[in-house]
Amino acid sequence: MRFYYQNSMGDSGYFSEKDLVKAIYTAWNIEAELYLLKDGLNKIDWKSEESPFFGQSKIVFSPFDDNEFNSEILKEFGYKMEDKDDSREIVDIKTNKAVGYGWKEVIQLI
Residue-wise pLDDT for 2-36, tens only, equals: 999 998 888 888 988 889 998 998 898 889 999 99
pLDDT value at residue 104: 66
Residue 110 has pLDDT above 70, yes or no: no
Helices (runs of H) and strands (runs of E) counted in the chain? 2, 7
Q: pTM value?
A: 0.84
Cα diameter, the chain? 46
Segment 61-100, tens digit of pLDDT: 999 999 999 999 999 999 999 988 778 899 999 999 989 7
Helices (H), 13-83: 20-29, 67-74
Concatenating the DSSP letter of every residue in 17-29 gives -S-HHHHHHHHHH
**Could you tell me if 36 and 60 are in contact, meaning their C-beta atoms sit under 8 angstroms apart?**
yes
